[in-house]
């Protein structure tokens, strides 16, 4: 008799990974859990010890073994240092994407394989399905919880060894299954934000690691309106924290971050939510990462893309320019942000993505000779 496949589940101490393990047991797999300690900082609000205890309790309730492993050194080197470098360069990175690629679907997979696993599984809201050229990454049935945006950069080979047991479920269904099974995580609050920052003030955290360079805050005509605390503390489209409520040059409407002048250390702001400086039909990327084929090659029809999580995918055209891509949208996109990722889809399949390098705003007409190569 052939032994049942062994699946090692990445147990986070939350309800999603708890139900992922539950569903695999019910499906007849041999199941074990693994908890990853990815961050070590005595001043952090990232309560890994509490989450570990929740993961251990769930594994005891399910009757499965729980392993533990420390990836803090790898996380600091491969995720956190990149996070600091990007903020220091005036961009806005997404560390969750890099964490998935480097830690959860590379380091974790290797470690699980050494433990004898045939597959790994996580509590991500996504699906994997067979395709003519290998596994395909598909969006979750619950579109509000779909996490393929954060998974687009993982190694395609990892998909051959990965299961997403809750990809067909909605969040309410996940919580209901956890309650029916009596799991202590059934009503546990979802974690939000970046783990290594936790509930701390974001600006205070960055200031511990990067020198702040205050400068002037101006409108698009160059009129000085105030002082910013450092360009790294602001992101495009940001409304709160500008301190311009009573600026005389304004009309009483809210102010938004429109752009960053890195050369002169100026923060450019304006009062229209849909200001032309915040809208872009065209952007350029760094080198793309593809999970399935290369959609920059024919056929190119039916492509859609997201420039941020929770955005509905927008119709677009792509072409290769140098090592990266040029992406043109049918409708202007709001607050396209260098350092963030654009992720491509065809129907419900996630094809891959790339880091946004530069955008072309509606108030900045340019000839082809002026566009980035």
- Cα–Cα distances (Å) from 370 to 147, 282, 325, in that order, read 36, 13, 16
Give the pair of three-digit tokens for residue 304: 């859609």
Active site annotation includes 99? yes
Q: Is 133 helix (H, G, I), strand (E, B) or coil?
A: coil
* CA 199 and chain centroid, separation: 18
State how far the Cα of 162 lies from the Cα of 38, in Å rounded to an integer. Answer: 20
Q: Among the options 46, 99, 316, 350, which is catalytic?
A: 99
Tokens of 133: 């050229």
Query: Number of helices (H) and strands (E), helices first, in the chain?
Result: 10, 18
Q: Are 306 and 94 in contact (CB under 8 A)?
A: no
Taking Cα atoms as reference points, which of 7, 25, 61, 52 lies closest to residue 179?
61
Residue 361 makes CB contacts below 8 A (sequence gap 6+) with 259, 276, 277, 278, 279, 280
Spatial neighbors of 124 by CB under 8 A, at least 6 apart, are 16, 147, 150, 151, 164, 166, 167
- Give catalytic status of residue 46 as yes or no: no
Q: Which entry of 46, 195, 316, 350 is annotated as an active-site residue? A: 195
The single residue listed with the structure tokens 């830690």 is: 103
Q: Report which of 279, 266, 284 is spatially closest to residue 336, judged by C-alpha positions.
A: 279
Sheet holding 119-121, edge to edge: 66-70, 30-37, 6-10, 119-121, 162-163
Catalytic (active-site) positions: 99, 195
């Amino acid at each position: 008799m052939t032994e049942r496949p062994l699946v090692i589940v990445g147990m986070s101490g939350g309800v999603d990974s708890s139900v992922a393990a539950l569903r695999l047991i019910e499906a007849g797999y041999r199941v074990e859990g693994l908890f990853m300690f990815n961050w070590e900082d005595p001043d952090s609000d990232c309560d890994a010890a509490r989450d570990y205890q929740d993961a251990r309790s769930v594994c005891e309730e399910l009757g499965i073994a729980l392993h533990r492993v420390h990836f803090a050194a790898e996380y600091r080197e491969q995720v956190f240092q990149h996070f600091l470098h990007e903020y220091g360069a005036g961009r806005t990175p997404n560390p969750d994407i890099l964490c998935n690629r480097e830690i959860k679907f590379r380091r974790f997979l290797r470690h699980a394989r050494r433990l004898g696993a045939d597959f790994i599984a996580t509590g991500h809201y996504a699906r994997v399905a067979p395709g003519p050229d290998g596994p395909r990454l598909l969006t979750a049935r619950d579109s509000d919880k779909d996490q393929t945006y954060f998974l687009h950069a993982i190694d395609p080979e990892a998909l051959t060894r990965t299961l997403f047991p809750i990809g067909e479920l909605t969040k309410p269904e996940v919580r209901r299954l956890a309650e029916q099974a009596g799991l202590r995580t059934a009503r546990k609050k979802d974690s939000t934000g970046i783990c290594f920052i936790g509930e701390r003030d974001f600006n205070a955290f960055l200031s511990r690691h990067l020198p702040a360079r205050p400068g002037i805050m101006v409108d698009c005509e160059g009129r000085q309106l105030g002082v910013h605390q450092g360009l790294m503390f602001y992101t495009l489209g940001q409304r709160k924290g500008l301190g311009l409520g009573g600026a005389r040059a304004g009309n009483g409407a809210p102010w938004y971050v429109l752009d960053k002048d890195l050369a002169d250390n100026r923060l450019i702001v304006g009062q229209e939510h849909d200001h032309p400086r915040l809208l872009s039909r065209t952007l350029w990327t760094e080198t793309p990462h593809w999970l399935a084929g290369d959609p920059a090659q024919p056929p190119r029809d039916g492509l859609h893309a997201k420039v941020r999580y929770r955005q509905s995918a927008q119709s677009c055209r792509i072409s290769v320019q140098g090592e990266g891509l040029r992406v043109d949208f049918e409708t202007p996109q709001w607050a396209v942000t260098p350092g963030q990722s654009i992720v491509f889809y065809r129907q419900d399949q996630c094809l891959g993505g790339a880091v946004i390098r530069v955008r072309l705003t509606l108030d900045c007409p340019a000839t082809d000779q002026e566009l980035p190569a």
